[in-house]
């Protein structure tokens, strides 16, 4: 399991005083109000940044980091991800999982046959869609609904699915 979980991606700068627009990759963007610090993936390292201010604009979160007061100090990090430690992550409800823990998971059909590997998760309005790299059928899209996803075991790195008619 990952020690750090992604909560956003810096999309652009905001103004000239070092603020950034962040596209949240978390279900609850208001969580940024409670965050004290994040890790910025610079490409070479993960740099700890203290959050000084949080605002919201459309679908973005505007962040101001302590010690970064100039557009030139932060501009080079456009497109870079922000992470939190697992202990600072939003607690999960029943049947909820962190996407980072699921990627690469082995997928099996209900009869026990290996079907493939979970490659990605597409977040849609209604429900997530699991992108599974199937051993026999290529890339298959499976809706993350109870009728299709029978079980998920993060510790065992295993998912069991029911293939509804029309998915293949």
* Measured distance CA(3)–CA(6) in Å, rounded: 10
Pairing type for strands 46-57 and 4-14 reads: unpaired
Query: What are the helix (H) ranges across the chain?
Result: 71-74, 99-102
On whether the CB atoms of residues 128 and 121 are closer than 8 A, the answer is: yes
pTM (predicted TM-score): 0.73
In the predicted structure, residue 3 carries a pLDDT above the cut 90 = no
**Could you give the CA distance from residue 163 to residue 3 in angstroms, rounded to a whole number?**
32
Look at the chain and count its residues: 168
Least confident segment among 72-76, 107-111, 117-121, 130-134: 72-76
Whether the predicted pLDDT of 167 surpasses 80: no
Give the chain's domains with CATH numbers: 4-87 (2.40.30.60), 99-161 (2.30.30.240)
pLDDT beyond 70 at 1: no
Show the tokens assigned to 142.
């499976």
**What per-residue confidence (pLDDT) applies to 26?**
84
How many CA atoms within 13 Å lie on the side-chain side of 18?
Answer: 12
Here the tokens at position 50 are 């203290």
Q: What are phi and psi of 33, to 5 degrees?
A: -60, -35
C-alpha separations of 167 from 40, 95, 114 in Å: 38, 22, 16
């Amino acid at each position: 399991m990952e020690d750090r979980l992604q909560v956003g991606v810096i999309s652009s700068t905001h103004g000239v005083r070092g603020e950034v627009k962040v596209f949240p990759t978390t279900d609850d963007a208001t969580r940024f109000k409670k965050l004290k610090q994040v890790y910025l993936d610079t490409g070479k390292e993960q740099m700890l940044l203290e959050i000084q201010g949080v605002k919201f604009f459309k679908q973005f979160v505007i962040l101001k980091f302590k010690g970064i007061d100039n557009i030139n100090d932060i501009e080079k990090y456009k497109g870079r991800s922000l992470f939190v430690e697992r202990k600072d992550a939003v607690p999960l409800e029943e049947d909820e999982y962190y996407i980072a823990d699921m990627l690469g998971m082995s997928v099996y059909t209900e009869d026990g046959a290996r079907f493939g590997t979970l490659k990605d998760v597409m977040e849609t309005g209604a429900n997530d869609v699991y992108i599974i790299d199937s051993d026999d059928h290529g890339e298959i899209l499976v809706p993350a609904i109870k009728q299709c996803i029978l079980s998920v075991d993060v510790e065992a790195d295993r998912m069991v699915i029911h293939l509804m008619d029309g998915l293949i």
